[in-house]
Amino acid sequence: MEKFETLNALVCPLDRSNVDTDAIIPKQYLKSVKRTGFGPNLFDDWRYLDPGEPGMDHGRRKINPDFVLNQSRYEGAQILLARKNFGCGSSREHAVWALTNYGFRVVIAPSFADIFFNNSFKNGLLPLILDEAIVDQLFREAEATPGYTLTVDLHAQTVVTPSGESFPFQVDPFRRHCLLNGLDDIGLTLQHGEDIRAYEARRRTEAPWLF
């Protein structure tokens, strides 16, 4: 997994609440058996005016000029600013892959859906929760200021605005540790193989019908 330490990057504001995973990556793209190549289809139904199918040349499709991601001032954005309950809906990790394939490293929102939140950490995408009032302020500033960037520092656990205003954020120590070091969960868990086997041995006597 790619490490995450600090990032200073352009912010793209997506002013909708309850953005669901069907919107982040529509189902026709879930037929892929890979983890890559989802970037062109991030927010496909909103980003393009014509219906999309896998295998198309997405560079030649009709762009929706009103959609925020298509506006030139947000080109190269790596921080997505969103409203509450971001990533609700299905468990598809393809939603996270689409965001990271596109180039996003951070999503800031007042709240996230649980499974999406969890999936993000496994892919080096930092889902960052800030108070609704602060998110509101960031929306106002990002929309009013072309080239608006934020600095996200995972060591210090702060988000810093261009004017130097700093907002602290919370993150689970274990997840933070994994992100900072780019650690692979499976490798870590397998170090506890003895514990897992001991659990199984105990469980086999308590609930033998499960084995």
> Contact residues for other proteins (CB under 8 A)?
16-18, 20, 22-23, 26-28, 30-35, 45, 51, 54-55, 83-85, 88-94, 96, 111-115, 118-119, 122-123, 172-175, 185-186, 189-190, 192-193, 195-196, 199-200, 203, 207-211
- Kindly state the smallest distance separating residue 158's Cβ from other proteins, in Å: 20
| CB 21, CB 82: distance < 8 Å | no
**Residue 24, class by beta-carbon neighbours within 10 Å (0-12 exposed, 13-18 middle, 19+ buried)?**
buried
- Kindly state the smallest distance separating residue 36's Cβ from other proteins, in Å: 10
Q: What single letter denotes the amino acid at residue 126?
A: L
Of 1 and 160, nearer to other proteins (C-beta) is 1
Task: Tell which residue, 44, 69, 66, 71, has the closest CA to residue 56.
Answer: 44
**Residue 58, class by beta-carbon neighbours within 10 Å (0-12 exposed, 13-18 middle, 19+ buried)?**
middle
- Kindly state the smallest distance separating residue 18's Cβ from other proteins, in Å: 5
- Kindly state the smallest distance separating residue 184's Cβ from other proteins, in Å: 8
- Kindly state the smallest distance separating residue 90's Cβ from other proteins, in Å: 5
Of 10 and 127, nearer to other proteins (C-beta) is 127
Of 144 and 206, nearer to other proteins (C-beta) is 206
Q: Whole-angstrom Cα distance, residue 67 to residue 48? A: 9
User: Where do the DSSP E strands lie in the chain?
Assistant: 6-14, 79-82, 106-109, 126-129, 149-153, 158-160, 166-168
| CB 112, CB 127: distance < 8 Å | yes
Of 30 and 63, nearer to other proteins (C-beta) is 30
Of 59 and 193, nearer to other proteins (C-beta) is 193
